[in-house]
Amino acid sequence: MANFQNIKSCILDKDLKKLKENIRHTKFTELLNIINHLPDIEKVLLFEVLDEKQALKAFKLLSLSSRKGIIKQLQHEKAAKLLNSLPDDDRTTFFENLPSRTVKELIALLNDEERAHALQQLGYKEGSVGRLMTPHYIAVKQNWSIGEVFDFIKQKGKNSETVNVIYVVDDNGVLIDDIRIRDFLFVERDKKVSDLMDYQFLSLLVTDKQENTIELFRKNNRFALPVTDDKGILIGIVTIDDVLRLAEEENTRDIQKIGGSEALDEPYTQISYTNLIRKNAYRYRYGKI
């Protein structure tokens, strides 16, 4: 493995140009052998410079522990390309051997089509909340300051389905509270998230039936509800627009009652579905829900 030392030196020196050159002159079988003999942190740098075809081919042949180490440390863009390119069955096998919290984070990297396939393959049955949820939300820790929360929202909020509700999880990812964003606006930045918590929240189980969510949203006047697995770990949220769409698909009049729509200025039987969503979103955003 004469080339091993050359590649190893390039990685240690972080000489990406020379590393790419060495890779270009290395047969794939030898390259795979080299990858297997590198610690995870060095594998990651190697994967950062591999082209997409090589990276996918190598990733599929690595051990589960190596895959875990690489995916956790890869830049999101590269990790997303790997996961989106994996065949469904390979990706499912990979996910099934990971903790729920990790799977949730990785599913968030998938595009819409691949995410739907992944959720189906993972056993979230058609008609279950698992098929309705989105993994894009804001979760914080109870020991964070309010200032840290706002900094985090600025950093991650663009990718979130909503920032109207902030979810609080413990160190294991277990949901322990949900707090409306407006509650954060009237306290000092040095206050803690725990100062706002009452530990009272509603949540959905990932295996719950979708139709049950309609009634839950209607009765509790919610814009979004968190989704947990059977251990209480937060893995997604369901938002009102998804529930409204579901209600319309089921041709039910519950669509007219969800999310505080009773104060709309058009008759329920005449308002369009699009306007209903728009009006409810406006009312929630400006504190009317």
Mean pLDDT of 8-21: 88
Q: What is the pTM of this model?
A: 0.56
Q: What are the strands of the beta sheet with 175-180, ordered from one edge? A: 139-140, 165-169, 175-180
69-108 per-position pLDDT tens digit: 888 888 877 888 888 887 765 777 778 778 777 787 788 8
211-255 per-position pLDDT tens digit: 888 888 888 888 899 999 889 999 889 988 878 877 776 654 444
**Quick one: pLDDT band at residue 272, thresholds 50, 70, 90?**
very low
pLDDT of residue 154: 92
